[in-house]
Amino acid sequence: MREYSPIHSTAPASTPLLSTRHLVRRFRDADRPAVDNVCFELYRGEILALLGPSGCGKTTTLRMIAGFETPDSGSVLLGERDITNVPTQKRRIGMVFQDYALFPHMTLAENVAFAMTHLPRKQRHARALEWLALVNMAELGERFPEELSGGQQQRVALVRTLAAEPELVLLDEPFSNLDAGLRERTRKEMRELFKKTGTTVILVTHDQAEAMTMADRIGVMRQGRLLQVGPPQAVYREPADAFVAEFLGHTNLLEGEAAGLSAATALGPISLNTQAHGPVTLSLRPEDLALVRSEDPDSAIIVDREFRGHDYFYLLARGDSRYCAIVPNHDPLEVGARVRLQTAGEASVLPDEGRSQTQH
Partner 1 sequence: MAQRAPLHILAPALLVAVAMVVPLGYLGLRAFQADPQTVMDLVFRERNLHLLINTLKLSFGVLVVTTIIALPLAWLVTRTDMGHRRLLTILGVVPLAVPGYVMAYALIGIGGHYGITAQLFDWQLPRIQGYWGAVAGLSLYTFPYLFLNLRSALLGLDASLEESARSMGHSETAIFRRIILSQLMPSLMAGWLVIGLYALGDFGVVALMRYEVFSYAIFNQYSGAFDRIYAAWLSLMLLAIALVFVMSESVILRRRRLASTGRGVERHAPPHQLGKWRIPAWVFVSVVVLASLGLPVVILAYWLLMAPPPLSFFLEVPLVFARSAVAAMPAALLATAMALPVAYLAVRHPSRMANAVERSAYIGYAIPPLTLALALVFLALNTVTVLYQTLALLILGWALATVALAMGPLRSTLMQMRPSMEEAAHSLGHGPSSTFFNVVFPHLRKSILAALALVFLFCMKELPITFLLAPTGYTTLAVTVFSRTSEGMMAEAAPFAAAIMLFSGLSVALILNREGDRH
Q: Considering beta carbons, is residue 71 or 232 the nearer one to partner 1?
A: 71
CA angle 251/55/172 to nearest 5° reads: 95
The site that binds partner 1 (CB under 8 A) totals a number of residues, namely: 34
When asked if residue 160 is in the footprint of partner 1 (CB under 8 A), the reply is: yes
Exactly one of 88, 136, 233, 271 binds partner 1 (CB under 8 A); that residue is: 88
Please tell me the distance from the alpha carbon of residue 10 to that of residue 237, in angstroms, as a whole number: 19
Q: Considering beta carbons, is residue 51 or 65 the nearer one to partner 1?
A: 65
CA angle 316/208/75 to nearest 5° reads: 135
Exactly one of 43, 97, 144, 313 binds partner 1 (CB under 8 A); that residue is: 97
How far apart are CB 62 and partner 1 at their closest, in Å?
A: 11
Strand partners, 113: none
Footprint of partner 1 on 283-322 (CB under 8 A): none
How far apart are CB 169 and partner 1 at their closest, in Å?
A: 10
Largest CA distance in the chain: 81
Please tell me the distance from the alpha carbon of residue 174 to that of residue 203, in angstroms, as a whole number: 8
Footprint of partner 1 on 19-78 (CB under 8 A): 27-28, 60, 63, 66-70
Q: Considering beta carbons, is residue 15 or 88 the nearer one to partner 1?
A: 88
Cα distances from 207 to residues 124, 146, 220, in angstroms, run 36, 27, 11
How far apart are CB 55 and partner 1 at their closest, in Å?
A: 12
Residues with Cβ < 8 Å from 47, sequence gap 6 or more? Answer: 191, 194, 200, 201, 202, 203, 214, 215, 216, 217
DSSP code for 347 = B
Footprint of partner 1 on 208-247 (CB under 8 A): none
Please tell me the distance from the alpha carbon of residue 260 to that of residue 25, in angstroms, as a whole number: 42
Exactly one of 5, 13, 80, 105 binds partner 1 (CB under 8 A); that residue is: 105
Q: Considering beta carbons, is residue 66 or 282 the nearer one to partner 1?
A: 66
How far apart are CB 155 and partner 1 at their closest, in Å?
A: 15
Which of these, 171, 201, 204, lies nearest to 56 by C-alpha position?
Answer: 204
How far apart are CB 131 and partner 1 at their closest, in Å?
A: 13
Q: Which residues of the shown chain bind partner 1 in the complex (CB under 8 A)? A: 27-28, 60, 63, 66-70, 87-95, 97-99, 101-103, 105, 114-115, 117-118, 160-161, 164, 166, 170
